[in-house]
């Protein structure tokens, strides 16, 4: 059985880690490099850094931050926000990132997924899906969740895989920051259809929520932010709990 991964997510705005609810009402959660060091020491499997206003503000993800993180931690990390070209990805990987995450740019230009997979390998290419349930359908959103698209989540997930995406980072905007649990039915649908790993995001509030997303939701990884940032759940305790439930974890 493949081991499941625990991934803290650091949403970055103006160089600081922030966290909100349903993608709004942001509050400061600390220095991203310092938090990264703590999570690496605690046994996080990977980290994700998302510059959440990069696309909205028309900026590029902060290369300096990536370099600082790469010099500080020894676990894989993914960077996203404002990435729209092969050159952007090359710069981030050269600065020390292990993977990149694209969202708005992939929706705008799906061929970008193919280009990046061909240039850098699928293992480097994470495609994020921000989704909200509207009028009975799961709708893909872009620009930090601000803009609904014509895309349906399940169909888009299949297209991402067919174009060479290496992983899907699936965030339910309906559960994000609520601590009421992951969107299990949706996660199970996407995971069941996909032959690539699915990272579930949005709604973690208890250790049992991770049990649920790894079993019922069939996710390959569980991503969370505020419960780690504000020390509500410690990563070593969570991993021990999950192992006790029969879920394979990396030590």
Would you name the residues annotated as active-site residues? Answer: 11, 130
Residues facing residue 120 across a β-bridge: none
Q: Which residue has the tokens 């996407």?
A: 190
CA distance 147 to 195: 28
- Helix or strand or coil: residue 10? strand
Dihedral of CA atoms 49, 54, 59, 64 in degrees, nearest 10, equals -20
75: enclosing H helix or E strand = none
CA distance 70 to 98: 9
CA angle 97, 197, 121 (to 5 degrees): 45
CA distance 56 to 169: 19
Give 165-225 as a DSSP string: --EEEEEETTTTTT-S---HHHHHHHHHH-SS-EEEES---SHHHHHHHHHTS--SEEEES
């Amino acid at each position: 059985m493949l081991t499941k991964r625990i991934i803290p997510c650091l949403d970055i705005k103006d160089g600081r880690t922030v966290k909100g609810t349903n993608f709004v009402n942001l509050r400061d959660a600390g220095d991203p490099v310092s938090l990264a060091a703590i999570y690496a020491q605690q046994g996080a499997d990977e980290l994700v850094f998302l510059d959440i206003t990069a696309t909205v503000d028309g900026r590029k993800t902060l290369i300096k931050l990536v370099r600082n993180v790469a010099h500080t931690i020894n676990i894989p990390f993914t960077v996203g926000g404002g990435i729209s070209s092969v050159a952007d990805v090359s710069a981030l990987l050269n600065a020390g990132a292990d993977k990149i995450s694209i969202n708005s740019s992939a929706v705008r230009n799906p061929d970008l997924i193919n280009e990046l997979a061909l240039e850098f390998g699928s293992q480097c290419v994470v495609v994020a899906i921000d989704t909200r349930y509207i009028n009975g359908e799961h709708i893909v959103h872009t620009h930090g969740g601000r803009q609904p698209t014509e895309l349906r989540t399940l169909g888009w997930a299949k297209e991402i895989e067919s174009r060479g995406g290496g992983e899907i980072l699936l965030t339910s905007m309906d559960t994000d920051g609520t601590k009421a649990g992951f969107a299990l039915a949706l996660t199970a649908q996407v995971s069941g259809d996909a032959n690539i790993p699915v990272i579930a995001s949005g709604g973690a509030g208890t250790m049992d929520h991770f049990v649920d997303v790894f079993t019922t939701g069939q996710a390959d990884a569980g991503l969370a932010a505020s419960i780690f940032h504000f020390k509500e759940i410690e990563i070593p305790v969570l991993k021990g709990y999950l192992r006790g439930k029969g879920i394979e974890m990396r030590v």
